[in-house]
Structure formats: structure tokens, C-alpha cells
A and B are shown apart, each in its own frame.
Chain A
Amino acid sequence: MSLVAGASRPAAILERGGKFAILALVLAALAIASIGFGSSAMSVGRVLLAVVGEGQRTDTVIVWSLRMPRMLMAALCGAALALAGFALQRATRNALAAPSVLGIVDGAALGVMVFLLLFSNESNALIVSILWQPLAAASGALLFALTVVLLAVRTGAPPLRVILYGVALGALAKAGVTLFMIDGPVHRASQAAVWLAGSVHQARWSDLSTLAGALALLVPLAFLLTRRMDQLELDEQSAAATGLPVRATQLMLFALATCLTAAAVSFAGAIGFVGLVAPHAARLLVGGRAFGQAVAAALLGAAMVTAADLVVRLAFAPLEVPAGAVTAVIGAPYFLFILLRAGRVHA
């Protein structure tokens, strides 16, 4: 990638490489901390031994059956949400676009609520396996994303309008969720509330393998589209003049972002603002071509959710506060920060 900003100078290459190395190290440190802390804390050495299966038997059991899946779930969901946000920000050419802003996450929430409502009996027990819940979330997300896209295509709306459609539809979904919460039994409401705020504390290996399978398909696709995303830095007319099929590319990115979001929130719930903050921060941190920014965004997203999950465990134990509460506390002010900067994003 010799055409990357300033890459003709070795110092610039080193500096950029260094930033990626630091991001990767931060994520690794967070991962080890995430495994080490819990109701019983472990030293770094014990964590590493347990991870490779050479530690004490109890450590190995705790790490492999409880903490590893939780940490991996946090990291994968974070990375998926970050990539989804990255794709949306490129498709709309707007730093404010994110899965939670475009109504996709609220759509997933409504899907989960409808699922809980339809499949519980009078005593509030689910009459089908909870394993179907991710499917319900994914259907809700896809349905709402599809509606936004259809509205956008029908009206040929510019990207900013598409965001507003998303906000409007998201508000609609949120209203539906609130209605179901108030109208439904208490147990169901509290069950839904945890999912709505977003939490990884119930992560299982089976969920992880499903998520990993989905990401194994979606992530390479995201990186295949990075060259097109580079072109979308230009205004639509100019991008089209360089040979990019603009509308088709935007649709592909919307679809990709929806699938990534659906995959993540199906299992971890509505963890907000990661898809907004991570790609934006990646742009500020590393800049340059979309490929590098996508890598940085994924690392940042993974680190954000891992860190948020760590914070809720350290600060609020033994309560199970959802990690999404922490990402929202960081993300909402950052959203304001972007808004204040937004006026001077484009030359």
C-alpha cells in the first residue's frame, strides 16, 4: 500500500504500523484482564497457563467454560458492530451513521420482544428454546433495515435523509418495545431489559461458534469492499465518474452492515454506540485507506466491548449490569463530540 498517506517516508510507515501494534496490544491486555478478573481473580501467568490448558484444573474449567466464551463474545460482537458502523459511515458518507442510529438495533429489539411475547405461556415460561431468540433478533433487524433501504431506493434520497428514515423507524420500533414491556408480565420485561441494554454474560460456546461462522463469511466480504469504500470518500457524482457503481455499492454496504449488526446483537443484545464510536475513532487514529481503517475499527470495537464488560464486572459485581450500559455512557458524549465536529468533515 505505497500510496497511503505519507507512506513514501519510512517514518510514516513505522508510525502507522506502531498505531496498529498498540491497538492490538491494548486488545490483548484487555482480553487477559477480562479472563483474569471475576469472582476469583487470577494473575496473568495463571490466565495464560489456563488458556493453553496447563494450569490448575479449577482455573482451566473457569477459564474455558465461563470467562473465555464471555471475553470472545464481547470481542467478536464489538468487532462486528464496529465494522457494521464503518460500512454504514462509508455508504452514507456521514460520521453519524451507525447501526443504532439507523434503526437496525431497535428493529432487532422489537424482534426479541415479539418473540418473547409470542412464545411464552401464562406462567411466563418460554415454550420454545431460548436458542431461537437470536433468529428473532436477526429477523427484526433485517426487516427494519430492509424498510429503510426500500424507502431510500424508492425516494432516491441522499444519505442524510436515509439516516433520518432510520431514526424515525427506530423510534417506531422503540415505541413498540416499550409498549410490549409495559403490557407484558414483569418477568418478561426484566428478561428483555437485560437483552435491550446489551450483555455478554450468558455467552456459550455454541452461540460463539454460530457467531464466528457468520463473521467468517461477513468479515472477508467487508474487507473485499474496502476498495469501493475508498471511492465513496468522494461525492457520489465523482465516485461514479471514477467507475464505481455507487447505488449498488451503497446497497451492498447496507446489507453487509445489517447482517453484521444482526449477528452481533442477536447474541449480545443491543450494545449501543460501538458502531458509531469505533469507526470514527479509527479514522481519527490511523486515517488513510479504508482497509487500514477497517482493521483499526474492528480492533477498537473489540476492545471497547471487552473493556465495557470488564468495567461492569469490576465496578458493579455481584450485580450483572449490562455492558451496553457502559458503552452508552462513553458513546453518547462521543456522539455529541462528532456532531460538534461534523460541520467541517468535508472539504
Chain B
Amino acid sequence: MPDSEKPDRTEIELRRAALGYAGKRVFESLDLSIAAGRLTALCGPNGCGKSTALRAMRATLPAEAGDVLLRGRPISAFPARALAREVAMLTQSPSAPEEMTVEHLVSLGRYAHRRGFSADARADREAVAGALESTNLAHLADRAIGTLSGGQLQRVWIAMVLAQAAPVILLDEPTNHLDIAHALEVLSLVRRLGTEESKTVVVVLHDLNLAARFADEIIFFSGGRVAGSGPVDEVFRRELIEEVFGIECIVRREEASGRPYCIPLAAVPTRRDRLGHG
């Protein structure tokens, strides 16, 4: 790993964070850290708290106890707009009026950079143009978003997040509802952000093999805790995946990229099921 020569700086850290919603705790005490400049995938079965952890990192879900730190500073201490300039997030099912144009939607990502009542500054226009360029959407700038395909629309949302020009980008299942070609296209784009623009990217991914293919690091969640975290090569192991997802599987390595992949074989009853919920 060429990255291992760089000193590993921690971008986001959760310390004994209690997270949840009214009447339902998802994490009693969550500890994890996100390395700067890396692409980290959050993986785990449904309801394991991937999105909850992600929302805590953007402070849209405040921790009930413990600390959430951005570069060592409590995230709750950031004013709303200042935090938005540091951390951008694409939510799981974003929506906007279908008659809105692509350029207009992308420009909404600039909110935290605008001052008072002034018209769009040059920096805003450049950031929007840049975001449209890097998501390959410049030719669709004047189109209404309601007329786009699912893959194009997802790229528009990512462009909005890019226009926010934050060093940290959080993406909640950006490949949801996308067919495999569009999913690959979106993740290649996300991958490029990490390598070319040295962004810290955290992405919730449902598909294990996409995570193994594109991420630097994976954090596995299971039963309200971190079941394993680290570089893909270290954590993408058969025993861990079997434990986290309650399946039997085989892990192989793809020759060309050297990336591991997983072939699920069968679901196995969890220990709790076997013990009759005792």
C-alpha cells in the first residue's frame, strides 16, 4: 500500500458515542475513526446503524452521550454553515422539485459559502461549473431534473455535494436504486474524488463487492457495535463477513485488481435465533 507511507491523520472520530432515535438506541457506545484522505465504506446488515453513524458524522443526528470530533474539535461546536463548509453529505433519498434545472440544484450546494444578500459570486459560479464538469453533466446544465435517468440524477446530487467544496464527503447509499452500470459509474466518480482531490470520503454501501472494489477501508457494523475496521485487505475476510451478515461465503481475490470479492453461499441462523431468543 503506497498510502501507508503517509502519516495517518484522523479526520472524524466517534468516542463512546450513544446514538439513536426517540425511544430506540442504535449504538450504546460507538468508537470509530475515519482516516483523512481515504475512502471508507460502512457496511453491515440492514438496521445495523450504518446511516445512523453517518448522520452522527454530519451532526444531523446529535450524539446523546459521548463525543463526535471533527479534526479533534467537537462537531456540535461548529455553527451550521461552518460545518457545511467542512462536511458535505448526500442523504439516502434526496428530493427536489422535478422542474428544477440541473444547474440550479447544483448551485444549492453553495449555500454555506454565500454571504448575505449578494448575487452569486465568481467562486460560486466556478464551483458549480467545476462540479458539473467533474460529474460530466455540463451538457445537461439547463435540463429539468425530472427528465433525467436515475444514474444522471444521482450524478446531479453528487455534483451538488461537490459544489459544497467540503474536504469531507459523506454519501448514504449513493448506488441505491441504480443498475450495476450506473452504480459503477457513480463509484468510479467517488473513487476519483478520493485520489484526485484528496477528499475524505465515507460511503454507506449495501453491496459488499462494490465496497471491496472501491474502498480503501471498510468498517463492518453488527449488532450495535463495530465488528471490524481497517484496510480492505485486512478486514475483508471470510470469518468476519460470515459473522457480520450471518451467512456462509467464500472470499476470493480478483487477479487484475488484486481486490477481494465475496460469493455468498447460504444464510445461517444467527446464534440468537438458535438459542431461541434467549
In the complex, what distance in Å separates the CA atom of A231 from the CA atom of B85?
15
Q: Is the interface of A mostly helix, strand, loop or mixed?
A: loop
Please pick, from B83, B91, B107, the residue contacting A235 in the complex, using a CB distance under 8 A.
B91
Q: Would A243 and B142 be within 8 Å (CB), given that A2-B120, A224-B117, A227-B117 are in contact?
A: no
Asked whether, in the complex, the Cβ of B91 is within 8 Å of the Cβ of A227, the reply is no
Asked whether, in the complex, the Cβ of B100 is within 8 Å of the Cβ of A241, the reply is no
Asked whether, in the complex, the Cβ of A244 is within 8 Å of the Cβ of B97, the reply is no
Q: Does B128 contact A (CB under 8 A)?
A: yes
Asked whether, in the complex, the Cβ of B96 is within 8 Å of the Cβ of A233, the reply is yes
Q: B103-144: contact bitstring with A at CB < 8 Å (1 yes, 0 no)?
A: 110011101101001011000110010000000000001100
Asked whether, in the complex, the Cβ of B107 is within 8 Å of the Cβ of A234, the reply is no
Asked whether, in the complex, the Cβ of A242 is within 8 Å of the Cβ of B104, the reply is no
Closest to B22 in A: A156
In the complex, what distance in Å separates the CA atom of A9 from the CA atom of B141?
12
Asked whether, in the complex, the Cβ of A237 is within 8 Å of the Cβ of B120, the reply is no
Asked whether, in the complex, the Cβ of B95 is within 8 Å of the Cβ of A347, the reply is yes
Q: Does A289 contact B (CB under 8 A)?
A: yes
Q: Would A227 and B111 be within 8 Å (CB), given that A1-B120, A5-B142 are in contact?
A: yes
| Chain B: minimal CB distance from A309 (Å) | 33
In the complex, what distance in Å separates the CA atom of A287 from the CA atom of B90?
25
In the complex, what distance in Å separates the CA atom of A21 from the CA atom of B145?
28
Instruction: Give A239-294 interface residues, CB cut-off 8 Å to B.
Output: 240-245, 287-289
Q: Does A345 contact B (CB under 8 A)?
A: yes
Q: Does B84 contact A (CB under 8 A)?
A: yes
In the complex, what distance in Å separates the CA atom of A50 from the CA atom of B104?
46
Contacts of A231 in B (CB 8 A): 108, 111
Please pick, from B89, B96, B104, B160, the residue contacting A288 in the complex, using a CB distance under 8 A.
B104
Asked whether, in the complex, the Cβ of A347 is within 8 Å of the Cβ of B142, the reply is no
Contacts of A3 in B (CB 8 A): 103-104, 107, 120, 124-125, 128
Q: Would A242 and B95 be within 8 Å (CB), given that A233-B108, A347-B145 are in contact?
A: no
In the complex, what distance in Å separates the CA atom of A344 from the CA atom of B161?
25
Asked whether, in the complex, the Cβ of A241 is within 8 Å of the Cβ of B120, the reply is no
Contacts of B85 in A (CB 8 A): 243
Contacts of B83 in A (CB 8 A): 243
Contacts of A344 in B (CB 8 A): 98
Contacts of B58 in A (CB 8 A): 241
Contacts of B96 in A (CB 8 A): 233-235, 238, 346-347
| Chain B: minimal CB distance from A215 (Å) | 19
Q: A223-235: contact bitstring with B at CB < 8 Å (1 yes, 0 no)?
A: 0100100110111
Closest to B142 in A: A6
In the complex, what distance in Å separates the CA atom of A344 from the CA atom of B147?
13
Q: Give the total number of A-B pairs whose CB atoms are below 8 A apart.
A: 100
In the complex, what distance in Å separates the CA atom of A4 from the CA atom of B102?
11
Closest to A12 in B: B142
Q: Does A202 contact B (CB under 8 A)?
A: no
In the complex, what distance in Å separates the CA atom of A6 from the CA atom of B94?
23
Q: Does A8 contact B (CB under 8 A)?
A: yes
Please pick, from A4, A346, A347, the residue contacting B153 in the complex, using a CB distance under 8 A.
A347
In the complex, what distance in Å separates the CA atom of A275 from the CA atom of B119?
28
In the complex, what distance in Å separates the CA atom of A61 from the CA atom of B19?
71
Chain A's interface size range is: 20 to 34
Please pick, from B84, B93, B119, B153, the residue contacting A1 in the complex, using a CB distance under 8 A.
B119
| Chain B: minimal CB distance from A80 (Å) | 21
Please pick, from A4, A234, A240, the residue contacting B95 in the complex, using a CB distance under 8 A.
A234
Q: Does B196 contact A (CB under 8 A)?
A: no
Q: Does B10 contact A (CB under 8 A)?
A: no
In the complex, what distance in Å separates the CA atom of A238 from the CA atom of B88?
9
Asked whether, in the complex, the Cβ of A230 is within 8 Å of the Cβ of B108, the reply is yes
| Chain A: minimal CB distance from B57 (Å) | 11
Contacts of A9 in B (CB 8 A): 142
Q: Which of B85, B95, B100, B146 has the most CB of A within 10 A?
A: B95
Closest to B109 in A: A242
In the complex, what distance in Å separates the CA atom of A237 from the CA atom of B89?
9
In the complex, what distance in Å separates the CA atom of A177 from the CA atom of B114?
47
In the complex, what distance in Å separates the CA atom of A244 from the CA atom of B82?
11
Q: Would A347 and B117 be within 8 Å (CB), given that A231-B111, A241-B91, A243-B84 are in contact?
A: no
Asked whether, in the complex, the Cβ of A235 is within 8 Å of the Cβ of B142, the reply is no
In the complex, what distance in Å separates the CA atom of A242 from the CA atom of B106?
11
| Chain B: minimal CB distance from A248 (Å) | 9
Q: Does B80 contact A (CB under 8 A)?
A: yes
| Chain B: minimal CB distance from A7 (Å) | 9
Asked whether, in the complex, the Cβ of B101 is within 8 Å of the Cβ of A6, the reply is yes
Instruction: Give A177-199 interface residues, CB cut-off 8 Å to B.
Output: none
In the complex, what distance in Å separates the CA atom of A3 from the CA atom of B83?
24
| Chain B: minimal CB distance from A167 (Å) | 24
Q: Which of A5, A244, A345 has the most CB of B within 10 A?
A: A5
| Chain A: minimal CB distance from B151 (Å) | 14
**What is the interface of chain A, defined by CB distance below 8 A to chain B?**
1-6, 8-9, 224, 227, 230-231, 233-235, 237-238, 240-245, 287-289, 344-347
Show 11 residue pairs from A and B whose CB-CB distance is below 8 angstroms, ordered by the A residue: A5-B142, A8-B141, A235-B91, A238-B91, A241-B161, A242-B108, A243-B81, A245-B80, A345-B97, A346-B95, A347-B98
**What is the interface of chain B, defined by CB distance below 8 A to chain A?**
58, 60, 80-81, 83-85, 88-101, 103-104, 107-109, 111-112, 114, 117, 119-120, 124-125, 128, 141-142, 145-146, 153, 160-161, 164
Q: Which 9 A-B pairs have the closest CB atoms?
A: A243-B84, A243-B112, A347-B98, A241-B89, A237-B91, A243-B81, A5-B101, A3-B107, A238-B94
With A233-B96, A347-B146 given, name 4 new contacts (CB 8 A): A5-B100, A5-B104, A241-B90, A243-B84
